[in-house]
Structure 1
Amino acid sequence: MQESVARGFRAYTAKHLDDLLRRAGLDEENRVRVRAVATVLPFRTNSYVVDQLIDWSAAPDDPIYRLVFPQADMLPEADVSRLAALLRSEASQKEIQAIAHEVRERLNPHPAGQLNLNVPRVGDEPVPGMQHKYPETVLFFPKQGQTCHAYCTYCFRWAQFIGEPDLKFASGDVASLVGYLKEHPEVTGVLITGGDPMIMGEPVLRRYLEPLLDLEQLESIRIGTKSLAYWPQRFVSDPDADDTLRLFSSVVEAGKNLAFMAHFSHPREMEPPIVRTAVERIRETGAVVRTQAPLIRSINDHPMTWASMWRTQLAMGMVPYYMFVERDTGPQDYFAVPLARGYEIFRDAYASVSGLCRTVRGPSMSATPGKVCVDGVAEVGGKKVFVLHLIQARDPDLVGRPFFAEYDPEAVWLTDLRPAFADRFPFEPSLADRVPLARRLSA
């Protein structure tokens, strides 16, 4: 997307951060510490978020402020103090970025094997900018969509936005995508993701979507985006808004289910009237708007927040889809909610809405083996356990089969859990599979 005067879009980046932090009432010491965090994690917001969504009288505690602005305690104290000292001493950017790189490497920048486990191949050659994690679905990352209208502080794809080429994952080659799909007729759905694909103008977006419309095997095209929350003008008043909606209509007219995967993290993101207008215009194309977001401590970790979101989404014609668990990357320690508490929040919210809102699933972990859902806490054979199942899995045979983990009130991710009533989880290799073949033959 061209950030032009015609669009009216104004981005704020790290160079604007100190002035915005003054507006939030932070003193000099805290501003330096926040800027230290911003040397490690990306910062970007825009005039719509700043002027229309943030309640500056409540900053820095306002949830939308916390949604887009770094916090001084998001990273380990020693790292923040070290970087803050470099900023105070006006150290060189090379020195600052060297330390920032060290910190990033400890933050698991690519969870669930994003750089290697999910990359499709044609012969022995990897196809860049694609992931094929589940048999029926391919993810595609267009290179022009590798930014967003604003960055969420908890984003699990933060590594895409920090300017390190080795951590970027994208492609501008839609022909390779089409070729791969033709070789894999089992794929029935493509998810266009990023970054945010809706940062692209209509002519660029069209170059990626139109070649997919002639593939008979494709039943659905999904677009993952935060644009309805952070820049609804994209579908209402931007110069190419009407052309974009006509493009959406052409996808539906081609017989494809167009799923607009909207990311809403807090009810306030849906309050501006322009959001309702944008949703209406998208739905008029025949697209289905589905909603999802992670459960984030200090932003939406209350059942009534989620119930309010789901009711509002239903009233606007959107379909509640997923509550995710904060991924094991970036500032997970700052934002994570324990799985036991996450389940309670989901259950209480779910119980307080009508059946039409109960299309939502969760809390779900997008982990290496697949999407693991926490179904509840139960007592089985006198033992307190988590009850879980895989909503989606690398191994389709595991989908929908319940399994158990020992109850741990502090666990925040799948790797914190231990199997109950078994020596391994269903998706883990057996001991025989883990022992090298040579050792088994010599035994």
Structure 2
Amino acid sequence: MKLLEQPAPVGTRFEAYGPSKLDEILKRFPVPEGLAETIRLFSLVLPFRVNEYVLTELIDWRNVPADPIFQLVFPQDGMLSKEDEHDLARAATGPGRRADLPAVVRRIRQRLNPHPSGQLELNVPTLGGAELGGLQHKYRHTVLYFPQQGQTCHTYCTYCFRWAQFVGEKDLRFAVKEADRLVEYLRAHPEVTDVLVTGGDPMVMSAERLRVHLEPLLAIPTVRTIRIGTKSVAYWPQRFVTDADADAVLRLYEDVVASGRTLSVMAHYSHERELATDVAGQAVKRILATGARVYCQSPLIAHVNDDADALAGLWNTELALGAVPYYLFVARDTGPHDYFKVPLGRAHELFSAAYGQLPGLARTIRGPVMSATPGKVVVDGTVELGEQRLFQLRFLQARRPGLTGRPFFARYTPDAAWLDELELLPDTPPDIAEAVRSQHLVGGGGSTAAPRAVSADLDLLPNTPGGAR
């Protein structure tokens, strides 16, 4: 590969800061004092980590606190409920300070739904009767793999749906030390064709350590695609350009491609600014030069990218670099969900407005998509039936494969932001209704009520799976 024939330029050393460095950061950069106190307090509950590149190259400190990258990285007022904020402040600063702080912090974290969509209850596979921690198998053809050495990130996102990986509580973490058990499981399950290496972020590992986890997969002939889920392309693109082992990482990518596998880097970009630096563009180009593919995905996040022009700009920039816009997710029902959520109706409006600004090659993007307990559910649009307005939804991927591609309808409610907040029609096929009910049983606060029904004449509804966009 030509890009590797020339040595990468010497880059700056990676330097990350955690909560213990907050005072230093808040002295260096202009943050209103009241907000600074909130950041310090909330970082006791929410994971916080940021690196020098994000601080100096991505955040516009002239626009704090509204700056989208600042919102993406620093805890904000409103991310915890007033009740939790009061309890936390009392435990952290009141009489008998810190005596009961660990218990208060843990109680608040448990309220934040640390493992949404049945990740613990439904996704962990077994082999020989034993649970395989560090693996998830939700969809027939795809297994998620969580290497223990990759359970951190170059910078933490405040909305991260895997925030529980980073707070130091072992019972909340997914992780496995080596690939041995994964290989055993894959040999026993030849239907699995895709392995998604995820975290945290696998790209925090050295090239040597990453090779230890990827090479065993090449011995499994039924595995045809290896995916690497990473935010490093946004938060530390130097990982592929100037890090001491950047070229070694790319040679590993070349080796995977040379084995005949498809290597897909699932790049997590939340805002166009993350692609605005020269090094970010170089990172994408160097990855593509190995023969790997780059697919881009992001949640729709209030205060960060809930703007049609911002979304269109992001997707057009991705396309210009040779990457593929792939998914726009709905923010999951975990962590500071009330702060970041965008109601489904508004999410579809934003998606449609941004989609209309794209050329054909960028219209690979799919959304808005809920990655919910029964599967990935896309909001295809809304339809009018008499005086009723309905959401038209469809399974893009499903825990039960027979649901994939099938449309269904729910009553339009302007504030609904997740699957368990929707009311299904009474004639919804029983298997779909049962699958959606699983979201009520496991996710979204644990309600045990069956999905509610509203009256409608299904004969008047369109029956095409594509629906309105």
TM-score in terms of structure 2 length = 0.88
Maintained 8 Å contact 1:24/1:59: no
- For residue 190 of structure 1, the aligned residue among 195, 199, 202 is 195
Measured against aligned partners, the alpha-carbon deviations of 1:169-188 in whole angstroms (never above 9, x if no partner) come to: 11013010011000001000
Q: Residues 303 and 6 of structure 1: is their aligned pair in 2 closer, same or farther, counting only changes over 3 Å?
A: closer
Any idea what SS the aligned residue of 2:310 has? helix
- For residue 267 of structure 1, the aligned residue among 253, 260, 272 is 272
Any idea what SS the aligned residue of 2:432 has? coil
Measured against aligned partners, the alpha-carbon deviations of 1:373-431 in whole angstroms (never above 9, x if no partner) come to: 0000111355310000010001111100110011111000000001024367743439x
Residue 330 (structure 2) pairs with residue 333 (structure 1): no
Maintained 8 Å contact 1:39/1:97: no
Q: Please report the RMSD computed on the Cα atoms of aligned residues, expressed in angstroms.
A: 1.8
In the TM superposition, 1:86-101 aligns within 5 A as 86-89=91-94, 93=98, 95-101=100-106
Maintained 8 Å contact 1:343/1:376: yes
In the TM superposition, 1:52-63 aligns within 5 A as 52-63=57-68
- For residue 407 of structure 1, the aligned residue among 408, 412, 418 is 412
1:351 aligns with: 356
Distance apart, 1:37 and its partner CA:
1.2
Any idea what SS the aligned residue of 1:269 has? helix
Measured against aligned partners, the alpha-carbon deviations of 1:127-184 in whole angstroms (never above 9, x if no partner) come to: 1100000000000000000000000010000011000011011101301001100000
Distance apart, 1:79 and its partner CA:
1.6
Measured against aligned partners, the alpha-carbon deviations of 1:331-383 in whole angstroms (never above 9, x if no partner) come to: 00000000000000001101111110000101000000000000001113553
CA distance in 1, matches of 2:420, 2:29: 37
In the TM superposition, 1:212-231 aligns within 5 A as 212-231=217-236
Residue 119 (structure 2) pairs with residue 114 (structure 1): yes
- For residue 127 of structure 1, the aligned residue among 129, 132, 135 is 132
1:437 aligns with: none
- For residue 74 of structure 1, the aligned residue among 75, 79, 83 is 79
Distance apart, 1:92 and its partner CA:
5.2
- For residue 252 of structure 1, the aligned residue among 248, 257, 272 is 257
What amino acid is aligned across from residue 275 of structure 2 in structure 1? M
CA distance in 2, matches of 1:20, 1:91: 28
1:378 aligns with: 383
Residue 301 (structure 2) pairs with residue 296 (structure 1): yes
Residue 151 (structure 2) pairs with residue 174 (structure 1): no
Any idea what SS the aligned residue of 2:396 has? strand
CA distance in 1, matches of 2:312, 2:32: 36
- For residue 43 of structure 1, the aligned residue among 48, 68, 78 is 48
What amino acid is aligned across from residue 120 of structure 2 in structure 1? L
Measured against aligned partners, the alpha-carbon deviations of 1:182-232 in whole angstroms (never above 9, x if no partner) come to: 000100000000000000000110000001112111110000000010001
CA distance in 1, matches of 2:51, 2:288: 25
Q: Residues 103 and 287 of structure 1: is their aligned pair in 2 closer, same or farther, counting only changes over 3 Å?
A: same
CA distance in 1, matches of 2:138, 2:98: 38
CA distance in 1, matches of 2:178, 2:219: 17
- For residue 324 of structure 2, the aligned residue among 296, 319, 322 is 319
What amino acid is aligned across from residue 380 of structure 2 in structure 1? D
2:155 aligns with: 150
Q: Residues 425 and 289 of structure 1: is their aligned pair in 2 closer, same or farther, counting only changes over 3 Å?
A: farther
Distance apart, 1:94 and its partner CA:
5.2
Maintained 8 Å contact 2:424/2:433: no
CA distance in 1, matches of 2:342, 2:14: 34
CA distance in 1, matches of 2:62, 2:169: 36
Any idea what SS the aligned residue of 1:61 has? coil
Maintained 8 Å contact 2:11/2:238: no
Distance apart, 1:35 and its partner CA:
1.7
- Identity percentage of aligned residues: 52
Q: How many residues align?
A: 427
2:456 aligns with: none
Distance apart, 1:93 and its partner CA:
4.6
What amino acid is aligned across from residue 75 of structure 1 in structure 2? L
2:449 aligns with: none
Maintained 8 Å contact 2:125/2:132: yes
Measured against aligned partners, the alpha-carbon deviations of 1:86-139 in whole angstroms (never above 9, x if no partner) come to: 333485555222111111111110001111200110121111100000000000
What amino acid is aligned across from residue 199 of structure 2 in structure 1? G
Distance apart, 1:78 and its partner CA:
2.2
Structure 2 spans left out of the alignment, 5+ residues: 1-9, 439-469
Q: Residues 425 and 49 of structure 1: is their aligned pair in 2 closer, same or farther, counting only changes over 3 Å?
A: farther
What amino acid is aligned across from residue 238 of structure 1 in structure 2? D
Residue 19 (structure 2) pairs with residue 14 (structure 1): yes
Maintained 8 Å contact 1:288/1:318: yes
CA distance in 2, matches of 1:219, 1:181: 12
2:441 aligns with: none
- For residue 432 of structure 2, the aligned residue among 413, 427, 436 is 427
What amino acid is aligned across from residue 375 of structure 1 in structure 2? D
Maintained 8 Å contact 1:375/1:389: yes
CA distance in 1, matches of 2:97, 2:174: 28
What amino acid is aligned across from residue 332 of structure 2 in structure 1? R
